[in-house]
Chain A
Amino acid sequence: MKFVKFLIAGTLFGIVMAKSEALSWFRIQEMFRFQSFHMYGIIGTAVTLGIIGVYLIKKFKMRDLNGNPIEIQLCFFQKKKQPKDI
């Protein structure tokens, strides 16, 4: 049951990728040929809101559903960060 929320989040993600056409090879070609703003708009909006949100999460030291401090963990960074951060 604890995975249901991830299933819902994933479903929402799949719908967004399809409805935004971001998964279309045509849209990606259009982006790399600099012939439309569409993909840049999607990535730009997501990253701009993401930067603001992550800043606020850190500023207000927000916590997740389990009560742990929220931090972005990417496997690439985990390796390097752990010794220094602890």
Chain B
Amino acid sequence: MEHRMNCSEVQNLIPQYLSGELDDDTRREVEEHISGCPDCQEGMRREQSLGDLIGQSADDPPEEYWDSYNDKVRSRIRGVVGMLWRLGILAGCLAGLIGGFAEHMGIWNFASSSTCPPLLRTIEMWCLVVGLAVVLGFLFKRFSTYGLPRYERDETSLKHAIAMNPVYRWTLVSLFVLLLLGAAVYLPLAFIQSPFMPGWAVWTLRVLVFIGFASGIPGSCRTITDYLDGRDLHAEWARKSIKQRLTAYPIVTITMLLLMVTCEWQVGMLKYVNAPMECRQRADALFSSGDTQSAVSILESGIRKYGDRYGVLDCYTRLGEIYKKTGHPAEARDTYRAGTRAYKYLVRHPKSYYRKQDRLRLLSDAANLYFRLGENKSAFDVSTVRLQTGPDDAENIFSVALDYECAGYKDEAKVLYDRITIEFPNTLWAHAAKDCLNAPH
């Protein structure tokens, strides 16, 4: 006997009937029942009405919302890796700059005592800084999604969190600042010769940082490799992305590069120029500890090595003094004489990268050597050159005036003292000049 559906069964099937999910036989049976049953017709009408109400409850944003929609989706696909990479490079550059200026200001010295070649040192420093920034960014990204299902660990989840929650946003900003500070603090610690950093720790950190750097490169180059491989959608966007990177940020990139190069150049030059002075300081330390032989050999090797640098006269002066103190006046005199020859050579071969203050030091050292040799006329001439070279400030004029006086050129010294009192009244230099004028000679 054929089963006939009752109202309850039909009412249950009405939604599927309306959505076309029923097989032909059942659909026909439902249709037959409904056509003769006012209750079920009412049920169907209510179901349609409910569907319409829910369907109409949907709402759309204004049309202009869609203008940038596809671009937003694309930029999300490009992901956060690129952003982190840019931040990492920026952090690295800033940390390097902070480091470079700290070096310049003499707050720390890592490049000075290292024996590795300058180029290698430079490369290492930048790898370290950038690598550190990248590895920190990478760790931050991983830890920020720690505990979430893999599905959620996509790059966009961090971006989502940042977009959705100001706490995340400010946490990221704070971490970024900490990253910068960390890089700036880490460098002097890791960069060796630090008394509280054992060698193995330094090398462990270096290895870790280089691993981080190496692992950061593939991620950051993803778009480029995709482009080169032409694998998938990334290819097309990578092309745009590379183009954008090449065209949109040239000013920032060039500025950063220039700053980086300038900083490196400054640091390198400073080390180059100051090398003889450091040699002299080492010799001083050895001499005061009683090791005269080592002090002499260091100064002699310094003179050989740094013969082309202005600061080398310092080494001659100190070597001559040591000879004199140890009872070798003839050697002392020879050394001073050699120093004056070095001066004559250096003054004829000026280097473009020397600063004015380096040249002033050279002239001051040369005058000192001539005094020690008793050649007052030469000392006077050198001091005059210094007066012409140096800045017309009270300090330089006063210093030259003292040299004149020591060399026995009292009238010339008096002229300079008078000049200081007239041109720089009410300064300490003017008071000192007055004292010199009034002092019994």
A and B physically associate: no
